[in-house]
Structure 1
Amino acid sequence: MSLPDSDYDRITSELGRDPTAAEAELFENLWSEHCAYRSSRPLLSAFSSDGERVVVGPGDDAAVVSLPVHGEDGEEMYITMGIESHNHPSYVDPYDGAATGVGGIVRDTLSMGAYPIALADSLYFGAFDREHSQYLLEGVVEGISDYGNAIGVPTVAGSVEFHENYEGNPLVNVACVGLLDPDRLVTAEAQAAGNKLVLVGNSTGRDGLGGASFASEDLAEDAETEDRPAVQVGDPYTEKLLIEANEELVEANLVQSARDLGAAGLGGASSELVAKGGFGARIDLNRVHQREPNMSALEILLAESQERMVYEVRPEDVEGVEEVAEKYDLGCSVIGEVAEGNYVCTFDESEARSDSDDPSGERSEPRGRETVVDVPPEFLAEGAPMNDLDSVEPETPERNLPDADLREAFESVVASPNTASKRWVYRQYDHEVGLRTTVRPGDDAAVVAVRESGTGVAVSSGANPNWTTCAPYEGARAVALENAANLAAKGATPLAAVDCLNGGNPEKPDVYGGFKGIVDGLADMCRDLSVPVVGGNVSLYNDSVSGPIPPTPTLAMVGTKAGYDAPPLSLSGEGELLVVGEAGGALGGSEYLAQLGGSDAFPSLPENGFDAVAALATVADFDSTLAVHDVSHGGLAVSVAEMVTAEAGADVSVDSLLALFDETPGRAVVETTDGEAVREAFDGVAPVETLGEATDDGRLSLTVGDETLTYDAGEIADLRDVLARELD
């Protein structure tokens, strides 16, 4: 990738000269799609980001929202929310690509002054029966588990989806929730000229060079070999030290502002930090602690070596920062200062050094020093022109339903890798470290206890590519509604969300039309649900020789509740089974059609999603509610199959195959001892229908029309264990 002629002309006009080689590369990376959102930013105004609990919205390393306080002893607490993608790196090197995605989103959390308390990963691969998809899945899961487990942050939620159009370009989207006291909040906005810029963490090497520009172009056929140098290499043990050091620095009030070194490395982090505060900088690149000799100015500026933070520090606090860094055996360099005017970086090639040299910055007068960067910081950070692209709206599919045998349909859908158990994945993650997880992975949503405020924080994350392939706009609306219903099924009220908007090459009108659809659909439903979208990430050019990915709007949503208990997904065997919510009457985007063929329009969604979600959260907290499970992927067929255990079964009946496999979100199966209370809660909101009875025999008896299927819990488990069966 190189600067387009139009960008080059814009830069020379602003600078009044040709850019230096380092400046040209810096602009190329910071003006890339990955950093500047040139094709997506014009669309993002559709999102509503305001709310009474929003403290810091979009634009910082992570968003900050305040938690409601429950109980007399509860304290006001903030949580941070962030999400990012590491898609291209995870194709080239699935282990390091996924691992460094975890590391990056955790450091985004640190830069706000927060301590990370939960991770959620949403993963998308090609068809599961392909050897390459399984190779990528195994590498990605291992990378996430090794990094997350080593740094002591629990992975509590997420999703795994398979679709043939991810074959040449998998997606790895990782979200993080952090916790902080209000008086510890730090932002990425420089505070005062004269403050020092201090780089803390790992040494700078040559790994990850050009990562931002690499993420802003389609994957080539030889990407796995040719693009390997653009993939960062993670060190979770250094990240763990950085987490603890950051906690100590923030607690001691030694940090004025902070930024994680991610895309575009030091050049990106430092220029954005000072630009956000309306300042410039003076940076001596020779002072950066390095692990490789003879690094050039360009390499030092743009390397995306991991586990590094840049801090703005008052001059009188520099010694304190150095002492904390030494305590945790972290590198520490005073690389420059916040200044008025331009963003300026100097370098003396004769002084190029490695970590074996004195990192203190004390040296004789430099010789042959060059100014390699001297640009207006705001122009560098925010000056990229936006793209005006053509778009084509997708067509609505016609109804063409297959003639299907009930047993074949049920077993095909329940055993699909998309709806099957993901236990093989989440059993590799440590989801209890930190002793906050009260509802574990495998449920509709995880719940994390914030005992400081007496609040349970529920977390849900994911998207459904079948939905958004069928109908980008309506499918994205459904993604938002499903995530909200996941939270409500655990008794939580949605609080806020962050999104990761993934698409193919936006220069293709049909691809850009689908991307516009998911942006508008997600924005509209979140607004209808009164859920502010407080931050996010955009990843475009997810395109390869095998074609573009489905438009994929991953949403990570959090909700809150008083206390930390929640009804389980599994049946107790003692109550009546009800299904609450309104079915949409169509099978477009369903796993049923994915398995058996055919087409249909996407189901219509409820107009009062906010009220339906609120009613479900209310019902979930009733003492008479024994179990709750949302209805989505695979429809009622999968929901009831997942609820059956060796101790508790179900005797259920529906009218038709359509009713059994309709995936309209916003619905749930409720096991209750007080059906009248459930009906009263949904009166005037949504229909409540009798589904059957829970039993104590560990068997599912499923009647559709005049045909009945019977399975015991062991048979259902065998159907649903396809990932473990193929991968172990």
Structure 2
Amino acid sequence: MADTVDDAFQTPDVEQPYAALGVKDDEYARIREILGRRPTSAELAMYSVMWSEHCSYKSSKVHLKKFGALSQETPRGPLLAGIGENAGVVDIGQGYAVTFKAESHNHPSYVEPYQGAATGVGGIVRDILAMGARPIGVMDSLRFGPLHEADTRRVLPGVVAGVGGYGNCLGLPNIGGEVQFDTSYLGNPLVNALCVGVLRHEDLHLAHASGVGNQVILFGAATGGDGIGGASILASETFDETGPAKRPSVQVGDPFMEKLLIECTLELFQAGIINGIQDFGAAGISCATSELASAGDGGMFVDLDLVPLRDPNLAPEEILMSESQERMMAVVEPANVERFMEICAKWDVLATVVGEVIEGDRLIIQWHGETIVDVDPKTVAHEGPVYERPYHRPHWLDQVNANRAEDLPRDNTPGGLRDAVLKVLGHGNVADKTWVTQQYDRYVRGNTVLAQPEDSGMLRIDEETGLGIALSLDANSRFAFLNPYLGAQHSLAEAYRNVAVSGAEPVAITDCLNFGSPEDPEVMWQFAEAILGLVDGCRELGIPVTGGNVSLYNQTAATPILPTPTVGVLGVIDDVSTRNRSAFTHAGDAILLLGETREELSGSIWESALHDGHLGGMPPAVVLDKEMALARVMGEAARRGLLSSAHDVSEGGLAVALAESAFRNDAGFAVTLPDGDPTVQLFAESAARAVVSLSGAQVGEFEALCAEHGVTSTRLGEVTGDPEMEFVGLFTVPLGDAKQAWRDTLPNALN
């Protein structure tokens, strides 16, 4: 039997296995100080999961506070909800709001790839649902070890199947994202999932428990033994070189139950009978009860014996820590409980009153008639430890930055350039990701306007007016390794640019910050610099951070992952029928390059593909004023209908942007590169650039628009429609050869 609060007073010196729960010595002492006694085993379980790195952000809080200095205004108006809520909520006009957020499920996805990825999708969907929104789409950003490694072939298929399987069963389109590879992710893949939902302004719901006597109802799936300490503890420690043996810590998902839960919850919202609501994510009941109670105007009483269990042998500590999926907790007035139960029964969703809101400021939990938890919920949910971890710039970084890719040999012969194009197109971080995306349903629900392989995903929100949103999820970890401040800004700029080239106006961001151990001062320096980069970047772009996620301890033994600040940018487009597509469409169209190309090869795909994974030098310059100017041009060009296609220039440089624009419709081209070194012109990854195609009759008006906004435009050539990519005066590549090099990389490695 679990010990009680009375036991804790009577046996203050009983030794507890707090270290096994991830609680540090000073943290345990602080818990005892808060309670004025030894915690019960149930209280210790609650504090251990809620004070874990994954739940409390104890190593990152001091840096994340810098986001609070940013304006909470988007270009379209104030945020309706921001940092601190389950997800940020953005006013997009016409009475609509959009809520979106990204989260990580990295460590569980390494241990059990399918379920880890699937439950990552399920968790972020419930975050969106808890805001009162209908989930309408998902995206994912995935990172794996090298394609030739056996463990990549173990992890990648399972993760992709988990993301696709769960999202497809929910009927949610997967509209975009990215898949990249690097040695540093071999023992620690990254699975970052984003969900977006739509709601009317008046439907916004926040997580709080108010009104003494109101009932606390647990609804959804029963609680099982899967996921005990899953995301909360599993994601708060470093893997050793052999990997963990922690399958019981990984949650098991049931997407069909989640689909019922979504429809049931939305009907409950529509009925107007929910006073407060919280999804069950990391830390399970410990999280839902403490966060609801701490955000309300009273305390909470819960009888743990009333919690429906799949395993009747669970100890109370296990019930409190279980991260079983597809569960929600609601606060409901007594007069509305019967109606609440009727709606849940209609959807075949299990619902049980497990407690009530009480006077005072205590969270009290009983089991078998005895009190096993008596705490101030704020100390559990919001007053965990705050660490100001030491950090310093790595001593080895000067040597890395001095080892510039610009100094590496270049073969500018026709044959050398042709081979370089094929190698860059076949690089894992550029190559065709159809092997992945064909496992996702991109068009379910019928409102998908753009999806992979477009630069951003786009969804129609209102059928009558055409109001829509665009989303992009990006990270450039190679740039972040060379300079985390600039690398974070490049991740932000690329996601911003991807949204802008579609014709949408970027308005807000969410982030998912993936780094190694916070106990390593060099990793903490990378993290602190990335935060500063995002804060300064968002301030200059004039868009707020609505919320996000931090994932630390992403390393195997002493080897951290490349710093990976993943950024999701939300854009709004007034009429989705005006959007820009990325593929060349009409033979005879002019091809223009927008923006300026500089000798910036460090961190590039060319550097990696042509020089055996080399990574050195400094990232390209970040030019956010030029990014904003480009965005204004692209938005206005879309509204005027000037362009046949628009595609951002990023990984792989101009060569890849041109090739990808040609592949979709097998529309070849003939272009003359601008003066200068051809390797630089083809493969430099200078920022704030895009490739567009348009009718010759529109070129004059478009060039005048570019000049008005200070955007450099260079006419390169035209879409020929011939089956070749011709770089006039240099070399020609048959379109079929180029497409095969780009298309075959993943299937050849994974099959």
TM-score norm. by structure 1 comes to 0.93
The alpha carbon displacement at 1:393 in A equals 2.4
The alpha carbon displacement at 1:17 in A equals 0.9
2:83 matched to which residue of 1? 58
1:415 matched to which residue of 2? 426
Q: How far, CA to CA, are the matches of 2:694 and 2:642 in structure 1?
A: 6
Q: Does 1:159 align with 2:183?
A: no
Does the 8 Å contact 2:389/2:519 carry over to 1?
Answer: yes
Q: How far, CA to CA, are the matches of 2:380 and 2:624 in structure 1?
A: 44
Q: Does 1:511 align with 2:533?
A: no
Q: Secondary structure at the match of 2:672?
A: strand
Q: Does 1:541 align with 2:558?
A: no
Equivalent position amino acid for 2:409 in 1: P
Q: How far, CA to CA, are the matches of 2:639 and 2:659 in structure 1?
A: 23
With over 3 angstroms needed to count, the CA separation of the structure-2 counterparts of 1:676 and 1:606, relative to structure 1, is: farther
Equivalent position amino acid for 2:53 in 1: E
Q: Does 1:428 align with 2:450?
A: no
**Which of 547, 567, 579 pairs up with 2:593?**
579
Q: Does 1:475 align with 2:487?
A: yes
Does the 8 Å contact 1:99/1:144 carry over to 2?
Answer: yes
Worse-superposed segment, 439-448 or 522-531: 522-531
Q: How far, CA to CA, are the matches of 2:576 and 2:455 in structure 1?
A: 15
Alignment of 1:12-91 (within 5 A): 12-47=32-67, 48=70, 50-51=72-73, 52-69=77-94, 76-91=95-110
2:458 matched to which residue of 1? 447
Does the 8 Å contact 1:297/1:347 carry over to 2?
Answer: no
2:700 matched to which residue of 1? 676
1:380 matched to which residue of 2? 380
Does the 8 Å contact 1:153/1:434 carry over to 2?
Answer: yes
The alpha carbon displacement at 1:531 in A equals 1.6
The alpha carbon displacement at 1:522 in A equals 2.0
Q: How far, CA to CA, are the matches of 1:522 and 1:579 in structure 2?
A: 27
Aligned residues: 700
Q: Secondary structure at the match of 2:654?
A: helix
The superposition leaves residues 699-727 of structure 1 with CA deviations (integer Å, 9 ceiling, x where unpaired) of 21124xx5323222454244333113333
Q: How far, CA to CA, are the matches of 2:425 and 2:666 in structure 1?
A: 20
Equivalent position amino acid for 1:425 in 2: V
**Which of 445, 449, 454 pairs up with 1:438?**
449
Q: Secondary structure at the match of 1:208?
A: coil
Does the 8 Å contact 2:480/2:564 carry over to 1?
Answer: yes
Q: Does 1:662 align with 2:679?
A: no
Alignment of 1:624-663 (within 5 A): 624-645=642-663, 647-654=666-673, 655=676, 656-663=678-685
The alpha carbon displacement at 1:471 in A equals 1.7
Does the 8 Å contact 1:39/1:387 carry over to 2?
Answer: yes
**Which of 716, 725, 748 pairs up with 1:691?**
716
Worse-superposed segment, 336-345 or 425-434: 336-345
With over 3 angstroms needed to count, the CA separation of the structure-2 counterparts of 1:676 and 1:546, relative to structure 1, is: farther
Q: How far, CA to CA, are the matches of 2:724 and 2:732 in structure 1?
A: 10
Q: How far, CA to CA, are the matches of 1:569 and 1:444 in structure 2?
A: 7
Worse-superposed segment, 202-211 or 712-721: 712-721
Q: Secondary structure at the match of 1:191?
A: coil
Q: Secondary structure at the match of 2:207?
A: coil
By percentage of residues, which structure has more helix?
2
The superposition leaves residues 239-258 of structure 1 with CA deviations (integer Å, 9 ceiling, x where unpaired) of 01101101110110111111
The superposition leaves residues 309-340 of structure 1 with CA deviations (integer Å, 9 ceiling, x where unpaired) of 00011111111111111112221110101223
Q: Secondary structure at the match of 1:686?
A: coil
Equivalent position amino acid for 1:417 in 2: G
Q: Secondary structure at the match of 2:640?
A: coil
Does the 8 Å contact 2:238/2:555 carry over to 1?
Answer: yes
The alpha carbon displacement at 1:345 in A equals 3.6
The alpha carbon displacement at 1:406 in A equals 1.4
Q: Secondary structure at the match of 2:312?
A: coil
Worse-superposed segment, 557-566 or 714-723: 714-723
The superposition leaves residues 81-119 of structure 1 with CA deviations (integer Å, 9 ceiling, x where unpaired) of 111110000000000000000100111111111110010
Equivalent position amino acid for 1:569 in 2: S
1:361 matched to which residue of 2? none
Q: How far, CA to CA, are the matches of 2:218 and 2:281 in structure 1?
A: 13
Equivalent position amino acid for 1:505 in 2: S
The superposition leaves residues 605-626 of structure 1 with CA deviations (integer Å, 9 ceiling, x where unpaired) of 2241322322222234432311
The alpha carbon displacement at 1:155 in A equals 0.8
Does the 8 Å contact 1:49/1:57 carry over to 2?
Answer: no
Q: How far, CA to CA, are the matches of 2:532 and 2:388 in structure 1?
A: 17
**Which of 614, 617, 634 pairs up with 1:616?**
634
The superposition leaves residues 180-200 of structure 1 with CA deviations (integer Å, 9 ceiling, x where unpaired) of 122211111223222111000
1:238 matched to which residue of 2? 257
With over 3 angstroms needed to count, the CA separation of the structure-2 counterparts of 1:109 and 1:719, relative to structure 1, is: closer
**Which of 124, 130, 143 pairs up with 1:111?**
130
Worse-superposed segment, 373-382 or 608-617: 608-617
Q: How far, CA to CA, are the matches of 1:277 and 1:68 in structure 2?
A: 30
Q: How far, CA to CA, are the matches of 1:46 and 1:686 in structure 2?
A: 32
Q: How far, CA to CA, are the matches of 2:537 and 2:662 in structure 1?
A: 32
1:393 matched to which residue of 2? 393
Does the 8 Å contact 1:502/1:539 carry over to 2?
Answer: yes
Worse-superposed segment, 94-103 or 618-627: 618-627
Does the 8 Å contact 1:285/1:345 carry over to 2?
Answer: no
Q: How far, CA to CA, are the matches of 1:431 and 1:173 in structure 2?
A: 18
Alignment of 1:557-572 (within 5 A): 557-565=569-577, 566-572=579-585
**Which of 305, 313, 323 pairs up with 2:332?**
313
1:360 matched to which residue of 2? none
Worse-superposed segment, 273-282 or 551-560: 273-282
Q: How far, CA to CA, are the matches of 1:218 and 1:53 in structure 2?
A: 39
Alignment of 1:157-236 (within 5 A): 157-211=176-230, 212-225=232-245, 227-236=246-255
Equivalent position amino acid for 1:697 in 2: D
Q: How far, CA to CA, are the matches of 1:500 and 1:616 in structure 2?
A: 27
Q: Does 1:260 align with 2:260?
A: no
The runs of 5 or more residues in structure 2 that have no matched partner are 1-20
Worse-superposed segment, 165-174 or 465-474: 465-474
Does the 8 Å contact 2:418/2:733 carry over to 1?
Answer: no
1:605 matched to which residue of 2? 622
Q: How far, CA to CA, are the matches of 2:726 and 2:558 in structure 1?
A: 43
The runs of 5 or more residues in structure 1 that have no matched partner are 70-75, 350-368
Q: How far, CA to CA, are the matches of 1:586 and 1:343 in structure 2?
A: 59
Q: How far, CA to CA, are the matches of 2:111 and 2:384 in structure 1?
A: 28
2:298 matched to which residue of 1? 279
**Which of 601, 606, 616 pairs up with 1:592?**
606
Does the 8 Å contact 1:472/1:518 carry over to 2?
Answer: yes
Worse-superposed segment, 290-299 or 718-727: 718-727
1:723 matched to which residue of 2? 746
Q: Secondary structure at the match of 2:441?
A: coil
Q: Secondary structure at the match of 2:80?
A: strand
The alpha carbon displacement at 1:484 in A equals 0.9
TM-score norm. by structure 2 comes to 0.91
Q: How far, CA to CA, are the matches of 1:376 and 1:584 in structure 2?
A: 58
Q: How far, CA to CA, are the matches of 1:607 and 1:401 in structure 2?
A: 28
2:410 matched to which residue of 1? 403
Does the 8 Å contact 1:113/1:247 carry over to 2?
Answer: yes
| Identity across matched positions, percent | 39
Q: How far, CA to CA, are the matches of 2:504 and 2:343 in structure 1?
A: 39
Equivalent position amino acid for 1:296 in 2: A
Does the 8 Å contact 2:621/2:687 carry over to 1?
Answer: no
Worse-superposed segment, 320-329 or 92-101: 320-329
